[in-house]
Amino acid sequence: MTPAETIPRDRVRALTPADLLALARCHAATPNDWSFAPRFDPVERWYSRLAQAADHEVWLLTWLPGQATELHDHGGAAGAFVVVSGTVTEQTLPSGPADPARLVETSLVTGAGRHFGAHHVHRIVNAGNRPAVTVHAYGPALTEMTRYDIEDGRLRIAETRRAGVDW
């Protein structure tokens, strides 16, 4: 699948997490095809949509050292991401009671990727000392994202953000 390929609306099918990882890898491998260059914001992580189709969307994100997301899901969308440059750490919840001190950490270096299903809750952080760039693909396109806190061993919804309203 090339970044320019789209599926006609009358033939849309749900992309699998593996499909989304392949799509993210394709976009990550072709930075000369991006319609804009990555930017870095010293206040918060920067992001912008690279592509959108009936069955998915692709985003470019940048991370300065110390920048991170909150613990969140993707509103029922499956997803994948690939590290274009630098290193990011994905933090996920272990099975059993939720405990912020026990988040499972997986470091992903340049070229590494990860895919996940529709109900995946995670946090991504640049814990290193160099900037990082990542490409993320979601299917279907994001309509909302829920941010969570951990209280008394349980996830608690802190906020739900909606596409077109909050980002």
Domain boundaries, the chain: 13-31+51-162
Contact 6, 31 (CB under 8 A): no
Residue 19 above 60 pLDDT?
yes
pLDDT of residue 135: 98
Residue 156 above 70 pLDDT?
yes
Burial of 55 (0-12, 13-18, 19+ CB in 10 A): buried
155 — pLDDT class (breaks 50, 70, 90): confident
CATH architecture of 13-31+51-162: Sandwich (2.60)
Check: pTM over 0.95? Answer yes or no: no
Question: CA 32, CA 129: separation in Å to the nearest integer?
Answer: 26
pLDDT of residue 16: 96
Q: What is the mean predicted confidence (pLDDT) over 51-79?
A: 96
pLDDT of residue 153: 80
